Structure 1
Amino acid sequence: MLDQNNAARLKEGVKSLELMTRFALATLALASGVYTYLGVRSLIDGSADLVFFAAIVYSAAVSVGIYAFWTYMMRFLPLMRDSARRGALIAVMGLGSLMIVAMSSWLNAAALAGSAALEQHLAVTLEDYVADLDKAHDKALAAQSLLPDVQRASVRFSRLAQDERQSGALTGTSGSGSVVQLLTQMSQQLDELSASILASRETAATQFEQGSQHLANMRALVSGDGEVQPRADEFAAEALALTGVISSLQETSIAASVSRAAEDLSLGFIAPVADGGTQDLANRQDRVMRSIMEAVAAQSKALQAAAQDILDQPGVPARRFVPLSTPEAVLLYARDFLPSWAGAISIDLLPMVLVLILSVVHSASRREARTLDVADKITAAEMMRAVALFRDMNADLPPEQVQKAIEHAASEKLPTDEAPAPDSKAEDDKTSTDPDEPKDKRDDNITPLRDKKH
């Protein structure tokens, strides 16, 4: 009796939830269509009317397709009893689910997280531009590291010239001779190079300030309020201006100029003629000037090597801001928006859970129904029709014979589904209506047609 009640309750539960199942499926299909409309609208170009009409048609087709597909699955998959057909329908359900994800779920995700994904794209691009500006500024300032070396060399030559002029520290004879002129010449050239390096520092600082202002504007756009698409357009304009500043900042580097100036120190060296009054003084001046030439060559080589190291550093490649649509941004930054993707896919594939529930319930109902007797499987309506048919068949029989037939049928056990089929020959012998057969061998429940006519 418990199995009988449980099987009946399962069937009754499926019937009672049929309307709710259809309502839930229609609601999910409608929700998916709405979010699909919001997602596909950003992908279509054209007039406002064209975009609206195309998006409505596509979203309606998606809603109808989802509703029809899951309706078919709910109707047929729970009824499959053998493994082959059930496996085939499960494979079809998997293929259909992939198609639904391809035509709807990613657009749903774009509608749910499209604005956030675009802001994420702007934020990532902003960080890249910050890194580019810092690299360009560092390379522009790298030449400033040569300034102390140039200034020390200039001071060194200037002091030697002063010492030679006052006390003759190099030649042994004081005065402003050719040695003093040469040392003063080298000091002046190095001072000019120092001035160029200092000027480039001011230019680099000015351009870096301009770039920082563009970055500040871009940060305000990323974290601003309102629709993201207009902010993305302004962001693109600021990015273009910042790219120009970065390029100018790279050209501001004085390293190449320092390298050329250092080369000119040795190649463009102009040594004055020794003007000593005596041959001995002239010889001493020549020896000192050769020493100065060697020192200038060494200083030039050191500056060239330092400048070349700066020039060998990789430059900052030109970066171009690429605007994205909301679906493209959602796909590109999918890992950052996994909850939105999960919600978008769940809206489309939640009916799969209902299909599996119905399959389990139908399977349990069939399994429990197999353990019931035939009488337990008959419904009240079937029982009423059977009684009416019995009465029609025995309407002309005497009441005593009808009562006897009822008692005989009640005393026999009804066969179950597993009971073997009765022997047809024995049944024919038992129900024989031969008039020559003794009357006591006939079945009392059956009235021969000949007797009934009499």
Structure 2
Amino acid sequence: MALGASHRLHDGVLAVDTMTRFALAVLALASGVYTYLGVRSLLDGSPTAIFFAAIIYSASVSVGIYAFWSYMARFFPHVIQASSRAALVGVMALGCAMIIAMSSWLNAAALAGSAALEQHLAETVQDYTADLDQAHQNALAAQSLLPDIQRTSERFARLAEDERENGALTGTTGSGSVVQLLSQMSAQLSELETGIIASRERVASLFDEGRAHLATMRTLVSAPGAVAPRSDAFSAEVVALSGVITSLEQTSIAPSVKRAAEDLSLGFIAPVADGRGADLVNRQDEVMQTIRASVAAQSQVLSNAADDILSREPVAERRFVPLSSAEAVLRYGADFIPAWAGAISIDLLPAVLVFILAVVHGAIRRQEERLPFAQRITAAELLEALEVQRALGRQGIDVEQAVQEADSEDERGREESNITSLDVSGKAPRKGPPA
């Protein structure tokens, strides 16, 4: 039964030998084709030079893969010694690493290069969207000061009107120095209010322009067709969007608010009291001192608010770096694990065939070791033995007698060994019945 199983395994190995070679050839060719597609995206130069360089490289890869796995399939299953088999396993591991380095990553670039480039463009769109939003928020931050400025300007204008009509501050009606001072402060704040409103319109215009660039970039990411021309158009949009973001950063009115707030107190010029009587002059001076204190307080509030806006983190400078398909696959490899698995499997699948052959040949050797010698000897070995017997016969040596003498010597050696073991154990040998 063992003999039949061994023969069937032998027949199976012979039957799949051609299939094994065909499979190795097909896998090596497939790896070469995808390697050609991957390496072509990395080369620069004329189309003819790129074509021949990629063909030579991919052909070298195919031949190398086929030769390597052919050697392993031929020799690994027949190596029995543990040290030799461990050495071959180390060689196989080194070869697999070299195959991955020279072919598998290019295969992955061919399989998922376009998708990886599109992901690179998509993530770039997200980054620039965040930058545009941040620049827009920084530019609009000064708009939060507009209600306070409007309220203060209206308060000064209302006080000036009350003083002119009713003498609410000095007790004397008319357009005197107090009215002039209040009108002056209201005018300065109104100018600052006008500047902030104009800045809002400029910021809105720039933000709309930036969103238009982002919309074009998103369209390029998801558009059909080759990714290379889309990437070039994408780069042009990135340059334009970067200019918009820079303009938004420079459009912020916060520095102007800071300077205007300081001018309110540092550039405060109070007119000379123009009252006809000393009592009115004193009242005007007291009111103008109160106005100075109010202006100083308002100036400090605006200055602190402008400092908070200016302390915001500016938009970091960002550069768009175009990638090749191979570089994109390496950078975003974790997102394309199926493509990497397929690319590596094409190159390393022959290792499975090698281990299958090793297991089968090991099983054949174990089954043949349990067979009698007469069933294990081959026809060639039998013919060789008969030739040796005829040669010994010509020399006058009786082979059968020599075999019988050798068997007798073996029998006597076994009996002496048994007697020696009984003497050592201290027991008398068992006597048999008399002959």
Q: Please give the TM-score of this superposition, normalised by the length of structure 1.
A: 0.85
Give the deviation of 1:393 after TM superposition.
11
Letter in 2 for 1:313: R
- Residues 118-167 of structure 1, C-alpha deviations (whole Å, 9 max, x = no match): 00000000100101110001101001001001001001101111111122
Give the deviation of 1:277 after TM superposition.
1.5
Question: What's 1:236 paired with?
Answer: 235
Question: What's 2:45 paired with?
Answer: 46
Question: What's 1:375 paired with?
Answer: 374
**Counterpart Cα distance in 2 of 1:260 and 1:92:** 74
Aligned residues: 404
Q: Specify the SS of the correspondent of 1:17.
A: helix
- Residues 221-273 of structure 1, C-alpha deviations (whole Å, 9 max, x = no match): 00000000000000000000000011011111000001101111111111011
Is structure 2 residue 283 aligned with structure 1 residue 276? no
Letter in 2 for 1:137: H
- Residues 79-132 of structure 1, C-alpha deviations (whole Å, 9 max, x = no match): 111100000000000000000000000000000000000000000001001011
Moved over 2 A (4+): 378-394, 420-424
Q: Specify the SS of the correspondent of 1:249.
A: helix
Question: What's 1:251 paired with?
Answer: 250
Is structure 2 residue 346 aligned with structure 1 residue 340? no
**Counterpart Cα distance in 2 of 1:349 and 1:378:** 38
**Counterpart Cα distance in 2 of 1:237 and 1:202:** 26
Give the deviation of 1:386 after TM superposition.
7.5
Is the Cα contact below 8 Å between 1:262 and 1:304 reproduced in 2? yes
Question: What's 1:155 paired with?
Answer: 154
**Counterpart Cα distance in 2 of 1:179 and 1:366:** 116
Give the deviation of 1:381 after TM superposition.
6.9
Question: What's 1:325 paired with?
Answer: 324
Letter in 1 for 2:359: V
Is the Cα contact below 8 Å between 1:113 and 1:337 reproduced in 2? yes
Is the Cα contact below 8 Å between 1:247 and 1:318 reproduced in 2? no
**Counterpart Cα distance in 2 of 1:390 and 1:284:** 147
* 1:94-243 equivalence runs, <5 A: 94-243=93-242
Is the Cα contact below 8 Å between 1:171 and 1:281 reproduced in 2? yes
* 1:348-387 equivalence runs, <5 A: 348-379=347-378
Give the deviation of 1:283 after TM superposition.
0.5
Letter in 2 for 1:95: L
**Counterpart Cα distance in 1 of 2:288 and 2:34:** 86
Letter in 1 for 2:343: A
**Counterpart Cα distance in 2 of 1:386 and 1:219:** 83
**Counterpart Cα distance in 1 of 2:67 and 2:31:** 14
Question: What's 1:31 paired with?
Answer: 30
**Counterpart Cα distance in 2 of 1:298 and 1:422:** 127
Is the Cα contact below 8 Å between 1:263 and 1:304 reproduced in 2? yes
Give the deviation of 1:390 after TM superposition.
9.0
**Counterpart Cα distance in 2 of 1:171 and 1:421:** 145
Give the deviation of 1:317 after TM superposition.
2.0
**Counterpart Cα distance in 2 of 1:380 and 1:54:** 53
Give the deviation of 1:318 after TM superposition.
2.3
Give the deviation of 1:383 after TM superposition.
6.2
**Counterpart Cα distance in 2 of 1:282 and 1:90:** 106
Give the deviation of 1:168 after TM superposition.
1.4
Question: What's 1:401 paired with?
Answer: none
Letter in 2 for 1:23: F
* 1:62-101 equivalence runs, <5 A: 62-101=61-100
- Residues 192-237 of structure 1, C-alpha deviations (whole Å, 9 max, x = no match): 1000000000000001111111111101000000000000000000
- Residues 346-380 of structure 1, C-alpha deviations (whole Å, 9 max, x = no match): 00000000111111111111011110001111346
**Counterpart Cα distance in 2 of 1:164 and 1:208:** 44
**Counterpart Cα distance in 1 of 2:409 and 2:84:** 35
User: Structure 2 vs 1, CA of residues 393 and 185 (structure 1 numbering), >3 Å: closer, same or farther?
Assistant: closer
Question: What's 2:418 paired with?
Answer: none
**Counterpart Cα distance in 2 of 1:381 and 1:251:** 94
Q: Which moved more, 1:8-17 or 1:91-100?
A: 8-17
**Counterpart Cα distance in 1 of 2:213 and 2:373:** 85
User: Structure 2 vs 1, CA of residues 6 and 422 (structure 1 numbering), >3 Å: closer, same or farther?
Assistant: farther
Letter in 2 for 1:332: R
User: Structure 2 vs 1, CA of residues 89 and 393 (structure 1 numbering), >3 Å: closer, same or farther?
Assistant: closer
Q: Specify the SS of the correspondent of 1:176.
A: coil
**Counterpart Cα distance in 2 of 1:303 and 1:391:** 121
Name structure 1 gaps, 5 residues minimum: 395-408, 427-454
Letter in 2 for 1:371: R
Is the Cα contact below 8 Å between 1:137 and 1:204 reproduced in 2? yes
Question: What's 1:4 paired with?
Answer: 3
Q: Which moved more, 1:308-317 or 1:218-227?
A: 308-317
**Counterpart Cα distance in 2 of 1:128 and 1:101:** 33
User: Structure 2 vs 1, CA of residues 242 and 107 (structure 1 numbering), >3 Å: closer, same or farther?
Assistant: same
**Counterpart Cα distance in 1 of 2:308 and 2:81:** 77
User: Structure 2 vs 1, CA of residues 169 and 18 (structure 1 numbering), >3 Å: closer, same or farther?
Assistant: same
Give the deviation of 1:177 after TM superposition.
1.2
Letter in 2 for 1:164: E
- Residues 391-417 of structure 1, C-alpha deviations (whole Å, 9 max, x = no match): 9999xxxxxxxxxxxxxx9xxxx99xx
Give the deviation of 1:171 after TM superposition.
1.2
Question: What's 1:302 paired with?
Answer: 301
Query: RMSD of the alignment, in Å?
Result: 2.4
